[in-house]
Amino acid sequence: MTPLLEMQGVSRVYRARRGLFGTGTPVRAVDHVSLQVAPGRTLGIVGESGCGKSTAGRLALGLERPDSGAVQFRGAPMAAPGTAAWRAERAQMQLVFQDPLGAMDRRLTIAQQVLEPLEIHGIGTAAERRERLATLLRDVGLRADLAERHPHQLSGGQRQRAVLARALATDPALLVCDEPVSALDVSIQAQIVNMLTDLQAARGIAMIFISHDLAVVRLISHEVAVMYLGRIVEQGEAEAVFAAPIHPYARALVSAVPVSGPRRLERIVLSGDPPNPAQRPPGCAFHPRCALALARCRTEDPDLVTQSDGRMVACHRAGELARAAA
Amino acid sequence: MAGLVSIRNLRVRFDGNEALRGVDFDVARGEAVGLVGESGCGKSVTWLAALGLLPGKATITGSVMLDGHELLGAPASQLDHVRGGRIAMIFQDPASALNPVHRVGRQVTEALRLHRGMDGAAARAEARRLFDLVGIPDAGRRIEAYPHEMSGGQNQRVMIAMALAGQPELLIADEPTTALDATIQAQILDLLRRLQAETGMALVLISHDLGVVAEMCTRVGVMYGGRIIEEAAEADLFARPGHPYTQGLLAARPDMAGPRRRLEAINGGVPEPWNFPPGCAFAPRCTVMTAACDAEVPALHTIATGHRAACWRAG
């Protein structure tokens, strides 16, 4: 299947200034990332704060321009930001954030906010829009009478449903969800996760699901990419990656998830904090925290290499680790 | 095990709304016990009330005994000795719990002065020992740092060092790792486990994450609507949850192993304080409710050895 969205070797560099008159240090927030997502499929992106997963999502949506590499939507390069073509593309892809209250306008009713994208993109007549509103609210499981309320009159779960209704208003082909359930309680989180999978099944939406919650990502993703300091260190079929991660960082991350009952992976407790992205260690960026690092890891940056099972891993020892895990 | 803290029929009311509706809970010396539940269920309020840390508008009734001494309504001088001394508390967001304009070492030495009467060089040496104990690398230099110069994980270690300064018999950890990344969370949980074993202090771990509690605690209490609705040994609770809410929480949580299954969401949401059901607080969301559930609040009763649930149908 041809991918709906494809990122090829995409990098995004920010300049972090030190002090008032200091010169900028380049920070590679996203570094040579290649991803693709097909219609009806979900790609999960996991990693810790500052690993570049949110920036990758914004690059996928064309909200930021890559400094190098290319992003293609439906096989064609993205339109330049601000142009009419770019605005038309916006209707095709939508972003859902963690904090629904912050993503909404507190002065507008739910109905006004859900209908706003239709007005902006000039879709339908007034009567058709009202009808569309009723359908959207039903699809996300919001009672019709909540349409006239304001965001602060809704619970957190209801707000996230309203944000989703707004995102779905233009019938997008791609949804980028950045920590969409992280602020919600477990019982409400399950409602939203089920709704996302149902909506995807019904409409064939492609999703990029960015989260630090590995159990949720495992549940809803077909494929997963693990990021560390701006790069993908492991990528493959979600269940396989979570069952037997190969990259030492991916292993530590998966093994860190607290579970009840016996664990399959022995807990690996990493030493230290993730390094400052502005001071990326030479060689493999993970080597200072890696228990398996060799001399080579300190100097030579490993490429993302496809393994025998189709998984991609950026580690000099990937081959032997894959054999040991199998 | 000898009892350390005993909470009986603890009730808290804010502006006419009840936040706690009769909490009964015990903590034994040296044990690690977890409190789980969703936002607003009262798990933090229970301990803030017990330690006299709620704002003045809160009306508190019931009893909180520490070693046979009543804490509710105790004079401030006695509470000052308990808080940070016999019972210490750490919170979710260490950066806001620390004073941003003071060096972290000074904040620890202040705790040492207050609770152990240590001063000068002795306090500084002890602060350094505590920094080493909680695994802050290069302790001698980090003691001079300000909170904003340290990462979230390091600040939480400083908080733990401060909590340990009073040599507490009980540490209340309120969502201590919720704001931290997964691998840093693993480090902090590891540290808490080690400190508990070394010092013999009891630990109350408040968390919304069932996995964290399962790994850290031997006994777990589940809260809903301002009450404990189930309490059991950790293994029993996860293997044989008795209350429909606990069953729902476990089914709603995605697994890291086994086949991928559709989550079983609990319908609806937590009741608003002004619209509280007359009987069981969970009845409106419960799939097995009967007429009796709306008539009367079910008491916490024993359904198996060491296993209690507040449900008419459990057991």
pLDDT above 90 for B275:
no
Tell me which of A77-91, A234-248, B282-296 is least confident: A77-91
CA dist A287 and A233 (Å) reads 12
Q: B233-237 long-range contacts, Cβ below 8 Å, gap at least 24?
A: B233/B306, B233/B307, B234/A260, B234/B34, B236/B304, B236/B306, B236/B307, B237/B307
> Does B149 fall in a domain?
yes
Mean pLDDT value of segment B206-218 = 93
**For the segment B111-159, what is each residue's pLDDT rounded down to a tens digit?**
999 999 999 999 999 999 999 999 998 888 999 999 999 988 999 999 9
Beta carbons of A43 and A223 less than 8 angstroms apart? yes
* Two structure tokens written together for B173: 């950890």
Give the nearest partner residue to A187 out of B154, B238, B265, using CB atoms: B265
Phi, then psi, of B89 in degrees rounded to 5: -135, 135
Q: Looking at the predicted structure, is the pLDDT value of residue A199 above 70?
A: yes
What is the interface pTM, i.e. ipTM, of the complex? Answer: 0.86
H/E run at residue B230: strand B227-233
Name residues whose C-beta falls within 8 Å of residue B297's C-beta, 6 or more positions apart in sequence: B21, B227, B279, B280, B281, B310
Mean pLDDT across the stretch B22-48? 94
Least CB–CB distance from B269: residue in A155, A256, A269:
A155
Q: Are B182 and B132 in a shared domain?
A: no
pLDDT 10s digits, B249-267: 999 999 888 888 889 989 8
Compute the distance between CA of residue A322 and CA of residue A241 in angstroms, rounded to an integer. 11
Does residue B207 sit in the same domain as residue B223?
Answer: yes
Please answer yes or no on whether A258 and B262 come within 8 Å at the CB atom: no
How confident is residue A20, by pLDDT bands cut at 50, 70 and 90? low
User: How many beta-carbon pairs under 8 angstroms link A with B?
Assistant: 110
Same domain for B211 and B256, yes or no, is: yes
Domain C-terminal end among B220, B248, B264: B264
CA distance A312 to A15: 30
Nearest CA in chain A to B262: A194
Q: What angle do CA A151, A154, A157 make, to 5 degrees?
A: 110
Residue B92 lies in a domain: no
Tens of pLDDT, residue by residue over A307-321, are: 988 999 999 999 999
In the block, tokens 């809970």 appear at B25
Q: Are residues B62 and B174 in the same domain?
A: yes
Give every CB contact of residue A58 below 8 A, 6+ residues apart in sequence: A64, A95
The domain containing residue B178 runs over which residues? 3-86+168-264
Helix ranges restricted to H, chain B:
43-50, 76-82, 94-97, 104-116, 120-133, 139-142, 152-165, 182-199, 210-216, 234-239, 244-252, 291-295
CA A51, CA A55: separation in Å to the nearest integer? Answer: 9
Give the pLDDT band of residue A156 (cuts 50, 70, 90): confident
| pLDDT of B1 strictly over 60 | no
Q: How far apart are CA A109 and CA A148, in angstroms?
A: 5
Question: Does residue B293 belong to any structural domain of this protein?
Answer: no
Both B80 and B113 in one domain: the answer is no
CATH class for the domain made up of A5-92+172-325: alpha beta
Give burial (CB, 10 Å; 0-12/13-18/19+) of B304.
Answer: middle
Q: Is residue B282 part of a domain?
A: no
Identity of the residue in B208, B254, B264 whose CB atom sits nearest the CB atom of A216: B254
Query: Is B52 in the same domain as B183?
Result: yes
- Would you state the pLDDT for residue A273? 82
Cα A57 → chain centroid: 5
Closest Cβ opposite residue A273 in set B184, B248, B253: B184
Instruction: Say if residues A45 and A57 touch (Cβ distance below 8 Å).
Output: yes
In chain B, what percentage of residues exceed pLDDT 70? 100
Average per-residue pLDDT for chain A: 91
Tell whether B302 is covered by a domain: no
In which band, very low, low, confident or very high, does the pLDDT at A63 lie, cut at 50, 70 and 90?
confident
Residue range A136-152: mean pLDDT, rounded:
92
For the residues B14-23, what does the mean pLDDT come to?
91
Q: What is the pLDDT of residue A271?
A: 84
Mean pLDDT calculated for residue range B186-203: 95
- Residue B67: per-residue pLDDT: 93
Q: Does B122 lie in the same domain as B57?
A: no
Can you give the pLDDT at residue A1?
63
pLDDT band, very low/low/confident/very high, at A15 (cuts 50, 70, 90) = confident
In chain A, % of residues over pLDDT 90? 67
DSSP state of B231: E
Do residues B223 and B42 lie in contact, with contact meaning Cβ atoms separated by under 8 Å? yes
Rounded CA separation B208/A186 (Å): 8
- Token representation of residue A297: 């890891």
Whether residue B173 sits in one domain with residue B143: no
How are beta strands B3-14 and B219-224 bridged, if at all? unpaired
Q: Which residue of B has its CA nearest to A156?
A: B269
Q: Of B117, B132, B167, at which residue does a domain stop?
A: B167
Dig out the tokens for A14 from the structure: 């920010």
- 3-state SS class at B236: helix
Closest CA to A80 of A94, A101, A66: A66
Are B69 and B185 within one domain? yes
pLDDT at A26: 83
Between CA A289 and CA A268 the distance in angstroms is 11
The average confidence (pLDDT) of chain B is: 93
Minimal CA–CA distance to A285: which of B164, B173, A272, B181? A272
Predicted confidence (pLDDT) at residue A22 exceeds the cutoff of 70: no
Question: Who's near A141: CB < 8 A, 6+ residues apart?
Answer: A161, A191, A195
Tokens describing residue A124: 């339908």
Does pLDDT of B269 surpass 80?
yes
Angle at B265 between CA B262 and CA B270, to 5 degrees: 165
Domain boundaries, chain A: 5-92+172-325, 103-171
> Using a CB-CB distance cutoff of 8 angstroms, which residues of chain B are in contact with residue A258?
185, 189, 209, 211-212, 214-215
Residue B283 inside a domain? The answer is no
Of A29-38, A284-293, B60-69, B93-102, the range with the lowest mean pLDDT is: B93-102
Nearest CA to A172 among A54, A1, A58, A5?
A: A5
Q: Is B261 within 8 Å of B74 (Cβ atoms)? A: no
Angle at the Cα of B48 (from B44 to B49), degrees rounded to 5?
115
Asked if B61 and B111 sit in the same domain, the reply is no
Query: Does residue A19 register a pLDDT over 80?
Result: no
Indicate whether B75 and B19 sit together in one domain.
yes
Q: Could you say which of A212, A219, A272 has the minimum Cβ distance to residue B182?
A: A212
| Range from A94-98, B285-289, B309-313 carrying the lowest mean pLDDT | A94-98
- Strand pairing report for B69-70 and B17-28: unpaired
The mean pLDDT value for A265-293 works out to: 88
Q: Report the candidate in A314, A301, A177 with the shortest Cα–Cα distance to residue A245.
A: A314
Mean pLDDT score, B3-16: 94
B151 interfacial to chain A (CB closer than 8 Å): yes
d(CA A40, CA A207) in angstroms, rounded, equals 7
- Pairwise CA distance, residues B108 & B88, whole Å: 13
Residues of A engaging B, defined by a Cβ cutoff of 8 Å: 48-49, 155, 157, 185-191, 193-194, 197, 212, 214-216, 218-219, 239, 242-243, 252-261, 264, 267, 269-270, 272-274
Contacts of A293 (CB under 8 A, 6+ apart): A284, A286, A287
The domain boundary residue, chosen from B167, B200, B222: B167
Give the distance from residue B66's alpha carbon to the nearest chain A alpha carbon, in angstroms.
31
* Res A21 pLDDT > 70: no
The structural domain count of chain B equals: 2
In a domain, B315, yes or no: no
| pLDDT at residue B315 tops 80 | no
User: Domain check: are B16 and B73 in the same one?
Assistant: yes
